[in-house]
Amino acid sequence: MDIARTPATPDGNPEMADAAPVKPTEPPLIRREDYKPYPWRVPEVSLDFTLGLTKTRIRSTMLVERNPAGEASSVLRLNGDEITPVEITVDGQAINSWSMDGDDLCVTLPGESHEVQIVTEIDPAANSKLMGLYASNGMLCTQCEAEGFRRITFFPDRPDVLSTYRVRMEGPRDRFPILLSNGDRVATGEAADGTHWAEWHDPWPKPSYLFALVAGDLVCNRDSFTTMSGRQVELGIWVRATNENGGDLARTEHAMQSVKHAMKWDEETFGREYDLDTFNIVAVSDFNMGAMENKGLNVFNTKYVLADVETATDGDYDAIEGVIGHEYFHNWSGDRVTCRDWFQLSLKEGFTVLRDQLFSAAMNSEPVKRIEDVRVLRSVQFPEDSGPLAHPIRPDSYREISNFYTATVYNKGAEVIRMMRTMAGPERFRKGTDLYFASHDGEAATCEDFVRSIEQGAGLDLGQFRLWYSQAGTPKVSVSLDHANDTATLNLSQTVPPTPGQPDKKPMPIPLRLALFDRKTGKHHGEQLVTLTEAQQSFSFSGFAEAPVLSINRGFSAPVAIDRAVSNDDLVFLAQHDDDPFARCEAMQDLVVRHLCGALSGSLDDRAREQGRQAIGAAFAAVLGDGSLDDLMRGELLILPGETYLSEQMLVAEPAAIHDEREGLKAWLGTTLEARFVALHERATAAGHGTSAAAKGARKVKTQALAYLAAAAPGRAAGLAAAQYDAADNMTDRQSALMVLTGLDTPERTHKLLDFYDRFKGNALVIDKWFSLQSSSLNPNLLEHVKALAEHPDFTLKNPNRVRSLYMPFTGTAQGFHAASGEGYRIIADLILALDPLNPQTAARFVPPLGRWRRIEPGRAALMRAQLERIAAAPKLSRDTHEQVSRSLD
Ligand SMILES: [Zn+2]
């Protein structure tokens, strides 16, 4: 599964975004150490659906056998959620030896092996949680990960029960002309009364969370792919049959190309071949997540399928390619080898995120991809790791698993596996993954199984490394370099901060790629890898007559925070000379972070402040003038660190002061380098057409130039932005021009916002952008503006994309969310309370921004806490929201 991605953008800063009264209905705590195999096996399941939007009837026939690995029990416990059994038979006989235990159905079975049949009836149109089987725009679709299958029928809804599925669907042909499920279609037929049916069979045993069904009036973009062994695979991307906005079908070509690239890349890079004759993707507009890897039938949020240059930005194109890759790669890392229990979620997600990151890097600019991935990690996962919701990538307990689809499990999980790859090198790492797939194919495995396979296959000792799976918190590494007698000595020390439930930490192995630069030549003598394994360690390097300049954690070889004792001059040197693009970008970031944090803490006098600015200005000028850089990379180097990341660097964060200081630096850079930014905008305007990397790069720096100019010379920027908007032949230019205008007090703002709305009215994905641009803008009246947008006829709480588009970017704004009055916090608390009864999963995702109160100055912190307490006091809260709120108050 892919959580809805939130790219960190240079401006606007969108984010992913027990003092509590004791609840009488505290949901049970589920612990990893309590795992027990299920007492029964369910090798085969047949599902018979009689489809209807408001009433769907399901007859489930399970073959159940005693599991020799489980405890002997005559009770078959089947999970349910908001369903009741209509009919139960065992071996063809109606029985009465069953009972309900909470939501679970318990059936007593006398023998070793039985056929159990259960009939349920559900109302898909009334399912606003979008978990299980639900209606969306007249079609039926499913989302079962993590625990949605139990909302369809009673079943051991846990990932370690693997079954082969046969699915028969029947319904009115006019309403549901297309009937899709997992695997390959084996039969179809039709009746005289206008109903028709289809039967699908998936030969690969899978857990229930990978079940999928889609029925509706759909059209298909068809293509095919021939695998490395010559298997012909029919590919289909399905969208709603609609003619609005020219129809969605024409917007599926980029997704189709991405599927084919992903299939080929996985064969070449990981030796993984597709294993069915059919691979289908369906795009759905009402979807809680980004996309879902159901075997042979991926279901996607439309956001990660539909694109054309008129309506999608370059960032959208990249995100589609990444998410398509991610879900496809799950076919092996998730479907063929699945998870034993949900504590092992990072087994499939961390590994698959790494796979999609490597794929996107191979398809595009590798260094830029790495910088972007680290920016997301720092703006989303680092705050999680330092807050009340911190947890290891393999959590020890949960109350609601939906709350653990986090940046820690996904993004930090990927970094942890990436470190193994760095230590082993790509070839030995591949031997490890080959061994993993070969040893666990068809199994429900654990993170430990994965680590052991890499250990054996790659020949690494990962004994101490396992701490990365059990300890939460971002390690902090202090770095200094001494020089004496031709020898440079690198002194490293590490601390892992305490996190909830983990007051004391052990030192972790931290692989650090480094290079030592000669100050005169600007060159180094090769990169090295050192691994810090103790609390403190030193490493010596001889042959340096003069003190070298240290470049460390190159390529972000470890997901740690580096605190380096280094001069501004050395940072400026690295910002100009470092041949590792990530490290070069990092030197720029450090230069800015150090300056802004110094200014914010009051430790800079006027002279030091001016010197700091001059150093940053010189580094920026060098980047603007460096002819050896491509624009994609230049664009990265020009991005200032985000406000959330900056607030993480402060002991106590004052959001308004951080915002003002950062905007102040932006304005100073815009003023000092105005002529250069204008020239850059001009050059990029001429070059920014088409889909080449160079054109993408030109569009990226054009946006940057406009943003700096807007901070320095609003009048000039408004004119340039309006002209860019009018001349735009693509969404990237149009959106970035509008983004700049929304932050400026100019009549053009109103004109262009109206124009944008009229131009794209009815295209839900673009109207989502219209909401996001406004709710993340630098508009000083943001609070009133967001309240007005919530009353807009196009706003609805029922569509998760729309809810996220209005409110998630807002939670990253200093003048909105963090307004001194506390009004921004109240808006988000009101949202959570209103959304929770409808869609608890999406509601709970808005709790973490409020949960950061401990890191914010006391006045605002009290206001944030008060809103959390108000939510906690609500008479009825979902398990999802209850858990997030009570952990945030702890
Ligand atoms: Zn996933």
Please choose, from the candidates 347, 302, 298, the residue with its C-alpha nearest in 3D space to the C-alpha of residue 326. 298
DSSP 377: I
**Centroid of ligand 1 to alpha carbon of 346 (angstroms):** 9
Please choose, from the candidates 185, 277, 162, 282, the residue with its C-alpha nearest in 3D space to the C-alpha of residue 231. 277
At position 727, the amino acid (one-letter code) is A
CA-CA-CA-CA torsion for 433, 439, 444, 446, nearest 10 degrees? -60
Strands 278-284 and 297-301: parallel
User: Looking at the chain, how many residues does it have?
Assistant: 890
Q: pLDDT by residue (tens digit) across 343-355?
A: 999 999 999 999 9
Q: What is the mean pLDDT of residues 627-650?
A: 95
CA-CA-CA-CA torsion for 220, 225, 227, 231, nearest 10 degrees? 70
Helices (H), ranges, 476-630 = 568-577, 581-600, 606-625
**Centroid of ligand 1 to alpha carbon of 416 (angstroms):** 16
Report how far residue 14's alpha carbon sits from residue 790's, in angstroms, rounded to the nearest whole number. 18
Q: What is the CA radius of gyration of the chain?
A: 28
Mean pLDDT rounded to a whole number for the chain? 95
- For 689-719, the DSSP string reads -SSSHHHHHHHHHHHHHHHHHHHH-HHHHHH
- Tell how far CA 88 is from the center of its chain: 41
**Centroid of ligand 1 to alpha carbon of 296 (angstroms):** 15
**Centroid of ligand 1 to alpha carbon of 886 (angstroms):** 27
Report how far residue 90's alpha carbon sits from residue 544's, in angstroms, rounded to the nearest whole number. 80
DSSP 412: I
Report how far residue 885's alpha carbon sits from residue 890's, in angstroms, rounded to the nearest whole number. 9
**Centroid of ligand 1 to alpha carbon of 881 (angstroms):** 22
Sign of CA dihedral 537, 541, 546, 552: negative
Over 70: is that where the pLDDT of 18 sits? Answer: no
Residue 766 CB neighbour total at 10 angstroms: 21
Q: What percent of the chain has pLDDT over 70?
A: 97
Q: What is the mean pLDDT of residues 733-752?
A: 96
Residue 1 banded pLDDT, cuts 50, 70, 90: confident
Report how far residue 516's alpha carbon sits from residue 519's, in angstroms, rounded to the nearest whole number. 9
Please choose, from the candidates 143, 25, 102, 12, the residue with its C-alpha nearest in 3D space to the C-alpha of residue 842. 143
Contacts of 812 (CB under 8 A, 6+ apart): 12, 13, 14, 15, 17, 642, 643, 644, 776, 849
Report how far residue 254's alpha carbon sits from residue 731's, in angstroms, rounded to the nearest whole number. 15
**Centroid of ligand 1 to alpha carbon of 505 (angstroms):** 29
pLDDT computed for residue 11 by the predictor: 41
Q: What is the 3-state secondary structure (H, E, C) of 51-92?
A: CCCCCEEEEEEEEEEECCCCCCCCEEEEECCCCCEEEEEECC
Output the six-digit token pair for 139. 């079609």
Q: pLDDT by residue (tens digit) across 449-491?
A: 999 999 999 999 999 999 999 999 999 999 999 999 999 999 9
Active-site residue 869, yes or no? no
pLDDT computed for residue 890 by the predictor: 86
Q: What percent of the chain has pLDDT over 90?
A: 95
Does the bond joining 307 to the residue before it have cis omega, within 30 degrees of 0?
A: no
Over 70: is that where the pLDDT of 307 sits? Answer: yes
Residue 22 banded pLDDT, cuts 50, 70, 90: very low
**Centroid of ligand 1 to alpha carbon of 602 (angstroms):** 44
In 496-552, beta strands by DSSP E = 510-517, 528-532, 536-542, 549-552
**Centroid of ligand 1 to alpha carbon of 49 (angstroms):** 27
Report how far residue 396's alpha carbon sits from residue 470's, in angstroms, rounded to the nearest whole number. 8
**Whole-angstrom distance between the N-terminal and C-terminal Cα of the chain?**
29
Over 80: is that where the pLDDT of 695 sits? Answer: yes
Please choose, from the candidates 859, 803, 869, the residue with its C-alpha nearest in 3D space to the C-alpha of residue 836. 803
**Centroid of ligand 1 to alpha carbon of 330 (angstroms):** 7
Report how far residue 829's alpha carbon sits from residue 885's, in angstroms, rounded to the nearest whole number. 11
Cβ 123 vs Cβ 54: under 8 Å: yes
* Residue burial 85-114, b: 16+ Cβ < 10 Å; e: rest: beebebeeeeeeebeeeeebbebebeeeeb
Contacts of 888 (CB under 8 A, 6+ apart): 387, 388, 389, 847, 848, 850, 851, 853, 868
Q: pLDDT by residue (tens digit) across 354-411?
A: 999 999 999 999 999 999 999 999 999 999 999 999 999 999 999 999 999 999 999 9
At position 31, the amino acid (one-letter code) is R
Q: What is the mean pLDDT of residues 413-435?
A: 98
Contacts of 347 (CB under 8 A, 6+ apart): 339, 445, 446, 447, 449, 450
Report how far residue 874's alpha carbon sits from residue 882's, in angstroms, rounded to the nearest whole number. 10
**Centroid of ligand 1 to alpha carbon of 836 (angstroms):** 24
Residue 3 banded pLDDT, cuts 50, 70, 90: confident
Phi, psi of 710 (to 5 degrees): -65, -35
Report how far residue 755's alpha carbon sits from residue 751's, in angstroms, rounded to the nearest whole number. 6
Please choose, from the candidates 421, 510, 430, 410, the residue with its C-alpha nearest in 3D space to the C-alpha of residue 468. 510
Phi, psi of 586 (to 5 degrees): -65, -40
Q: pLDDT by residue (tens digit) across 50-80?
A: 999 999 999 999 999 999 999 999 999 999 9
Residue 5 banded pLDDT, cuts 50, 70, 90: low
Over 60: is that where the pLDDT of 21 sits? Answer: no
Q: Is pTM, for the whole model, over 0.85?
A: yes
Q: What is the mean pLDDT of residues 523-537?
A: 97
Of these residues, 147, 170, 321, 327, which one is catalytic? 327
pLDDT computed for residue 8 by the predictor: 42
Q: pLDDT by residue (tens digit) across 249-304?
A: 999 999 999 999 999 999 999 999 999 999 999 999 999 999 999 999 999 999 99
